[in-house]
Amino acid sequence: MPLRVRVEAVMPSRGIVFACPIEPGPMLATPRATLDGRRVTHFELPRKLRPDGTPDLELIGFQLETASDAAHFTVGAEVIYRDE
């Protein structure tokens, strides 16, 4: 099932894209998972706190299979995560 996310930060040298879901939905890490057509090897919730000190559980870190693919993402862009 496709899920729309908004790019919050990019670490091109490490192949990581941080994004927040725009709409709720389930996420699976399958062997065919992609972020805007680029293969994702796994994702995780980084340790990030909101200004009030509570954990920010909406930010997701996506590890791309090919690190150079991260350069294709820009902060603020809305992209699609697919796990089909």
Please report the pLDDT score of residue 30 as a whole number.
Answer: 84
The larger pLDDT score, comparing residue 59 to residue 16, is at 16
Note the pLDDT tens digit of each residue in 27-62: 777 888 999 999 999 888 777 777 888 777 678 999
Separation CA 71–CA 57 (nearest Å): 25
For the cut 90, the answer to whether the pLDDT of residue 17 exceeds it is: yes
pTM attached to this predicted model: 0.84
Separation CA 55–CA 72 (nearest Å): 28
Q: Are 45 and 61 in contact (CB under 8 A)?
A: yes
Pull the structure tokens for residue 3.
Answer: 């899920």
Please report the pLDDT score of residue 51 as a whole number.
Answer: 85
1 Cβ contact partners less than 8 Å away, ≥ 6 residues apart: 25, 26, 82, 83, 84
The larger pLDDT score, comparing residue 51 to residue 80, is at 80
The larger pLDDT score, comparing residue 49 to residue 79, is at 79
Domains detected in the chain = 3-82 (2.40.30)
